[in-house]
Amino acid sequence: MSGLEIPGLAIGGVSFFFQAFAGCIQGYELIADACRLEKTYQNLLIKFKIEEHRLFDWARSIGLDYTDETLVLNHMSKNLIMGILEQQQKLLFSFGRLDKKYAKLASPLLVERHEPFVFDAERQLENGNQAQAGSNAIRFPQTDDLLQKVRKFTEQLKTAPRRLKWASLDKEKAEGLVADLVHFNDKLHEALDKAQRDSLREEQIRTQYQIVLLNRTVENLVQIVQSHRITAPSPYPALLDRADSEYGMVTGRPIARDPHTQPLAALAQFAAVNLQSESSNGIRDVTASFAERIDLNHSADEIQNIQIELADIRTSDNLEDVDEADRTEGTYRDRSVWIEWKVAEPSPGHLNGASGIVHERIKTLAALLKEMNKIVQFRAPECLGYFYDDEQGRYGFVFAKPDFVPADESPTTLRSLLDTDMPPLTDRITLMRLLCETVERLHAVDWLHKGLRSSNILFFQSQTPTGTTTNYADPYISGFEYSRPAMRDDMTQRPSDDPAADIYRHPSTQSGNHSFRKSFDLYSLGVVLLEIAYWQPIDHVLGIPDIHRAKPKETHGARTMLLIDTRFRKYVTGHLGLAVQSVIWSCLQGPEGFGLEGDCDEKDAWVGAKLQWAFGERVVKRLAHMRGL
């Protein structure tokens, strides 16, 4: 059934599951409406809305609708789920007003107001619409048409509840209510089968990305983090389970307060650090008091003290003989490391070296790179800090090798592996999915990579009795020397002319006339995915005989050729299937490939959230559904 109509369907014909769900949503909104009137309850309000959206995600995952025709539930779990929904509904409508026997409390926490309660999109902080554009209210993503169906159903009920207000404030009891709601939502998740739980977890992570993107102010992000102080966390995995990566446990301490259970808080923490460092003071604005406000478990000094003494670096070659285009092997305080270089761009008045502004940007970038894996896992190598090579006028970012890697083993790039035998389709699809998930996560915290290409995707090979093996399920993304926060155009630097790198760049970035956008990262990602599909470097795919001597018109015209010449699509469709072809060409097309206008303003919070959601649906989710290959 589509649309919002209930043709020929009486109230009694509506699914009991939907009725119970609608009652829960109405209960959430009644109490959330009362919380909006109390400044001291703003964190409670946020937590109520987060749990409400968890319930919406759950309802979508089982195909909930007016009737049970589309419902996907194990027959054995239906009674259990109905019981949980009914208990949650009763709790929401009795809290602060009725005792356990549903008699009115002598001293209620909540009392009715005179006006009836009605659903209101603005009061629900629903989707960052224009009415809220100048508001500091926390924004939440759209809930498709499911909320509209709840509204329509409740409007047809004979009795409408009245709005509530707090008669007395009891934070402990209110927080206890939130803890109970978390528990009920957890139980609803546990009642699903494994495939549904996995799908729901991905759906909820995507919702969390939306929440962070829609709240691009430090204060809003701080509120989101602090709202997670209210309850014990839910037992769901973090954004990237450390067990998924041999490279994960690098510091021996937890990420955020409890990253395995609070992915939204972890995302909001990193996004807040990112935003706070966008000022002219850079990372210095991440002070001790700020770190405390967002519950970081490491100090501001640890974040800011990231410059390494050049004398502490030992390399196998003399630094003056090292080419900036290469990764340089070395050691730092007995740790095996490699160095990635960035040439300092001279500025007026600083023709022989880096200006203070450039240095501040480098310091901020190094600090954020170091923070990446402390708060949220981005499949980035561990950054130990940076140093400045004054004689050569360049910066070096120092990255640690994993403990399991021999000191003399260098990271292997995807570009070099493309010259070896093609791995099985399962490995290639897994690699595509992991790279897309990582870019999705970077963009969720408004971080642009700006250098995605196969030479910046690394693997650490292992030796077996049969030879060297590559674990394609454990890639790392490097090459962050040009990366920056999405909102900082002033940090944009034109990458040096290099046809081998330009071939991955969107043509608009090669001209230098456009500020960088997330869709340009997605284009570069699409090129890498195409390489993985062919298992050939992109210049070979396009038939460019010598990429290092390629003319600008060849690299600039690569996108047009990929979009117009049908043989590339036909190859991917024939060898990997229509789903993979759709994934790759959505990325290559840009905003149009995700249902947006080509000239849309990607800096707009609502547009950015739509692009993020569409990328998750059309790219990441499709690849995730192919895991069983």
* Tens digit of each residue's pLDDT (9 = 90 or more) over 517-538: 999 999 999 999 999 999 999 9
Q: State the pLDDT at residue 133.
A: 45
What does the pLDDT read at residue 239? 39
**Average pLDDT score over residue span 329-342:** 92
Local structure of 236: helix, strand or coil: coil
pLDDT digits (tens, 9 = 90+) for 149-165: 998 888 888 777 889 99
pLDDT at 12: 64
Domains of the chain: 11-192 (1.20.120), 418-629 (1.10.510.10)
- Per the listing, tokens 């919702």 go with 207
**How far is Cα 88 from Cα 184, in angstroms, rounded to an integer?**
7
**Angle formed at CA 287 by CA 217 and CA 393, multiple of 5 degrees:** 95
Task: Work out the average pLDDT over 305-320.
Answer: 85
Mean pLDDT across the chain: 85
What pLDDT, on a 0 to 100 scale, did the predictor assign at position 627?
Answer: 67
Could you tell me the pTM of the whole model? 0.88
Token pair of 572 as six digits: 């991917």
The winner for highest mean pLDDT among 12-26, 404-418, 519-533 is: 519-533
pLDDT at 441 over 80: yes
State which amino acid sits at residue 463. Q
User: What integer pLDDT is reported at residue 240 of this predicted model?
Assistant: 40
Task: With beta carbons less than 8 A apart as the criterion, state whether 550 and 478 touch.
Answer: no
Q: In the Cβ-directed half-sphere of 514, how many Cα atoms lie within 13 Å?
A: 16
Helices 518-534, 566-576: axis angle to 10 degrees equals 60
pLDDT in tens, 267-287: 999 999 999 998 878 899 999
- Ranking 211-215, 401-405, 437-441, 446-450 by mean pLDDT, the lowest is 401-405
Three-state SS at 26? helix
Per-residue pLDDT of 33-73, as tens digits, reads 999 888 888 999 999 999 999 999 999 999 999 999 999 99
Q: Residue 261 above 70 pLDDT?
A: no
- CA 409 from chain centre, in angstroms, equals 32
Sheet strands (E) in 156-259? 162-166
437-441, 481-485, 580-584, 597-601: least confident range: 481-485
pLDDT score recorded for residue 488: 57
pLDDT at 258 over 70: no
Distance in angstroms (rounded) separating the CA atoms of residues 578 and 569:
9
Q: Compare 175 and 10 and report the one with higher pLDDT.
A: 175
Confirm if 191 and 75 have CB atoms less than 8 A apart. no
Closest listed residue to residue 475, CA positions, set 425, 432, 538, 522: 432
- Look at residues 441, 589, 612 and name the one whose alpha carbon lies nearest to residue 523: 589
For residue 624, the one-letter residue type is A
Please give the structure tokens belonging to residue 183: 């528990």
Q: Length of the chain, please?
A: 629
Residue 173 identity: K
